[in-house]
Amino acid sequence: MSVDLRLGVNIDHVATIRNARGGAHPDPLRAARIAAAAGADGITAHLREDRRHISDRDIARLRAEIDLPLNFEMAATDEMLAIAINAKPHAACIVPEKREERTTEGGLDAAGGHNHLKRFVSELGNAGVRVSLFIEASKTQLDAAASLGAPVVEIHTGAYCDATGDQRANELARIAEAVKYGADLGLEVHAGHGLAFDTVTPIAQLPEIRELNIGHFLIGEAIFIGLEASIREMRRLMNLARGMTGASQ
Ligand code: PXP
């Protein structure tokens, strides 16, 4: 397991498949156990307002039954704040949330939403939960995160992953600059969204990034090669990018 670059495995889409039929199968907890065995450093789960995938019970079970740190993704609402303070996950990542979106589209407006977010950052921090803000690779947003007192930011990699050719190179350069700027501000910098085997390496090579959160691709790839193999391969690529041996852990 790498302490240099952690892998948080997002298990939301195991719950998406379960919920498509109701019932208990496939169980996101089983996925979390496999992720632990495959070299994940943490589990990420997003309890959405509409409960379309992860449920309140999943969060309670993740806290009670899984040893890996839980990164609880949440919207900045009073309902989610109360759940987070009660569940006391290792970390909470505040994300923007719109009911009609398919996934978290774009980052949080930490600059425009400063007054609203301040209470969430401080109450979570006071409860001993490490707060991160999911933001775009923008100096304005990084400055706002620092001034809010958030210890961690997660940079949205969606535009980089969606782009091709020169556009992808431009997006990567924008992320590289932001990551460095964030680290210089004293923020711990994470990244995630849309990462796959063919996009992870340049991101993992940015030395200031301490954690990647990856879900949709890993769960999709598991259909073809199995979840453990999918996570092990991502872990191997991350280690290779950091110049470590290509060994599986
Ligand atoms: N990080 C954050 C803050 C997210 O909201 C998501 C998606 O839930 C991810 C990472 C993982 O994105 P993906 O499922 O596309 O790998």
Q: What is the pLDDT of residue 245?
A: 63
Residue 216, SS3?
helix
Nearest residue (by CA) to ligand 1, atom 5, is: 104
The reply to whether 193 belongs to the active site is yes
Q: Ligand 1 centroid vs 226 CA: distance in angstroms?
A: 20
Structure confidence by residue, pLDDT tens digits, 144-160: 999 999 999 999 999 99
What is d(CA 181, CA 83) in angstroms, rounded to the nearest whole number?
32
| pLDDT for position 246 | 52
* Architecture of the domain defined by 6-241: Alpha-Beta Barrel (3.20)
Compute the distance between CA of residue 5 and CA of residue 39 in angstroms, rounded to an integer: 12
- How many whole angstroms separate alpha carbon 146 and alpha carbon 117? 12
- Taking the chain, what is the end-to-end CA distance rounded to the nearest angstrom? 5
Do the bridges between strand 188-192 and strand 42-46 make them parallel or antiparallel, or are there none, so unpaired? Answer: unpaired
For 204-244, what is each residue's pLDDT tens digit?
999 999 999 999 999 999 999 999 999 999 999 999 999 97
pLDDT at 105 over 90: no
Q: Exposed (0-12), middle (13-18) or buried (19+): which is 27, by Cβ within 10 Å?
A: middle
- 100 in active site: no
Out of 1-15, 131-145, 179-193, pick the least confident: 1-15
pLDDT in tens, 20-29: 999 999 999 9
Q: pTM for the complete prediction?
A: 0.95
- Average pLDDT over the chain reads 95
Helix (H, G, I), strand (E, B), or coil: what is residue 118?
helix
User: 130 falls in which pLDDT band (50, 70, 90)?
Assistant: very high
pLDDT of residue 106: 84
* Burial class of residue 130 (count of CB atoms within 10 Å of its CB; 0-12, 13-18, 19+): middle
Name the residue ranges covered by the structural domains of the chain. Answer: 6-241
**Pocket lining: 213 vs ligand 1, CB cutoff 6 Å:** yes
| Integer Cα distance of 38 and 32 in angstroms | 10
| Residue entry with tokens 């790498």 | 2
Mutate to test the pocket of ligand 1, among 153, 216, 227 (most ligand atoms within 8 A of CB): 216
Looking at ligand 1, which atom is closest to the CA of residue 190?
1
- With the most atoms of ligand 1 within 8 angstroms of its CB, the residue from 73, 212, 218 to mutate is 73
